[in-house]
Structure 1
Amino acid sequence: MPAQVHVFRCLSDNIGALVHDPNTGACAAIDAPEEGPILQALKDTGWQLTDILVTHRHADHVQAIAPLKQRTGCRVVAPQKARDSVPLADAFVREGDTVHVGGLQAHVWETPGHCADHVSYWFAADRDLFAGDTLFTLGCGRVLEGDYADLWASLQRLAALPDDARVFCGHDYTLSNGRFALAADPDNAALKARIAEAEAAQAKGGFLVPTTIGQEKATNPFLRAGDPALAKAVHKEGGAPPVEVFRALREWKNRF
């Protein structure tokens, strides 16, 4: 049986996710933003927490590790580069490692740019990507460490996944991302449709997580930096490398 994924809100705009292996009963939380909503999600699904897979060290992704570990005895897996910031971790992973949640297997990809220790978890058999704060629905993370080339390379790697790969991100910034995307790419019909979909979802208390790689390649300006229309939007016509267009877009978004 395939993996089961349950998503829910945490804090003000974080998205929590549980990944469940119905064959073994194992269940992993992707990050640990807030104890209460995670416990409620476990209650709602009837799943038992066995693991926490950490994408990066920022407080809004790790602050509930201690109480959840104390309550459940779960295993905590964290990036090797965040070793000093996730002291309760039981295992540390880096590029090329694999993590098992019951019978499910995730490939660990280092995806720096938002921060140096960021990893994403790619469950290839189920085509599920847990991208943390690297790639969002209609957006991407801020560059807080490293440089723009790091984040651009990480995004390009994720964009090379199959179009039907589902992307689970760490925050719901979709409507604010959509407003920026429309400013940068105003003639994109697929983007306009996607924003309308996001507005309809919000009106019903929902959100557009997961998205798919195919949807993001069609609508997310940060994956479209090679498009002449996006280069023109940031005054980079004339053959500027896509990474320069990406940097200009991300810096514009920072001020938007």
Structure 2
Amino acid sequence: MLDPAQDPSQARLQVALLPVLRDNYLFVLHDGRHAAVVDPAVAPPAIAWLKQRNLELVAVLQTHHHSDHIGGTPGLLREWPRAEVVAARSERERIPFQTRGVEGGDRFILLGQPVEVLAVPGHTRTHLAFHLPLQGELFCGDTLFAAGCGRLFEGSPEQMHHSLGLLAALPETTRVWCAHEYTASNLRWAAAQRPGDGAIAERLAAVLLARAQGRPTIPSSIGEERRTNLFLRAAGAQELAALRRSKNDWTD
């Protein structure tokens, strides 16, 4: 089901969000018969969800090597051993079960839809994002969060600033499927940094209401992130680094 010869004009994929662990999300894309899973932290919820709907898993997409993103992949492969695993080819040591290595600039067809691979280092040195341009979907792992960005574990502020700029340049209607529910904390911090920012205050109020009602705040959109994400609004790497240090020290 990763076939560059397929015609993408006939397929429209559904996207499902499954909360797992404390604050992780994994994502399922499907066409009603076949499915792909993005960043499975654990396997059992994904297996149960797929089997309940009689979906065949054909692919797993990995944005990076952290255990809360790849931990469920071996379990999924035991159930669907023919599924392909798409990951950074330079990460074969840390993602050894990958079957298709990719890098930024690569393209492939997933369940009839074209996928662009974006290199977005910063959180890790070889972090990837997967962009479905015809559907307007972005699966960005831990690089871009709703109103935030990932910690700089292996990359530099310069890398993260460039990566966020790459994502910010996508169409504003692009839906942002990030892998953690950090939005309320990110916006409380942002509101403290910019107390006079009406867009941030308005978004924070909506997010707090959603969380009080038990609803996820994901997906957001590129347009919403441009307006309210301080990291996307940073003028350069130095400002981003200062913001990241501030958020690291923030007590929510």
Would the TM-score normalized by the shorter structure come out above 0.5? Answer: yes
The CA distance in 2 between the partners of 1:189 and 1:92, in whole Å, is 44
- How many Å apart are 1:138 and its aligned residue? 0.7
The CA distance in 2 between the partners of 1:79 and 1:104, in whole Å, is 20
1:72 and 2:80 equivalent? yes
The CA distance in 2 between the partners of 1:105 and 1:48, in whole Å, is 20
- Gap regions ≥5 residues in structure 1: 227-241
SS of residue in 2 equivalent to 1:50:
strand
Say if 1:45 and 1:219 are closer, same or farther in 2 by CA, change over 3 A. farther
Q: Which has the higher contact order (CA 8 A, sep 6+)?
A: 2
- How many Å apart are 1:46 and its aligned residue? 4.3
Whether the 8 Å contact between 1:114 and 1:144 is mirrored in structure 2 is yes
Q: Which runs of 4+ in 1 moved over 4 A?
A: 43-46
1:26 and 2:34 equivalent? yes
1:245 and 2:243 equivalent? no
1:61 and 2:55 equivalent? no
1:215 and 2:209 equivalent? no
- Gap regions ≥5 residues in structure 2: 1-10
Amino acid at match of 2:245: E
Amino acid at match of 1:84: E
1:254 is aligned, of 243, 248, 251, to 248
Amino acid at match of 1:250: R
Amino acid at match of 2:22: S
Number of matched pairs: 239
Amino acid at match of 2:231: F
Whether the 8 Å contact between 1:185 and 1:221 is mirrored in structure 2 is no
The corresponding residue for 2:48 is 40
The corresponding residue for 2:6 is none
The CA distance in 1 between the partners of 2:135 and 2:90, in whole Å, is 27
1:108 and 2:117 equivalent? yes
Amino acid at match of 2:240: F
- How many Å apart are 1:175 and its aligned residue? 1.0
* C-alpha RMSD of the superposition: 1.3
Whether the 8 Å contact between 1:29 and 1:52 is mirrored in structure 2 is yes
Whether the 8 Å contact between 1:114 and 1:143 is mirrored in structure 2 is yes
SS of residue in 2 equivalent to 1:29:
strand
- Could you tell me the percent identity over the aligned residues? 36
The CA distance in 1 between the partners of 2:184 and 2:173, in whole Å, is 22
TM-score (normalised: structure 1): 0.90
- How many Å apart are 1:81 and its aligned residue? 2.1
TM-score (normalised: structure 2): 0.91
- How many Å apart are 1:100 and its aligned residue? 2.3
Q: List aligned pairs for 1:199-214, cutoff 5 A.
A: 199-214=208-223
1:2 and 2:3 equivalent? no
Amino acid at match of 2:192: A
The corresponding residue for 1:178 is 187
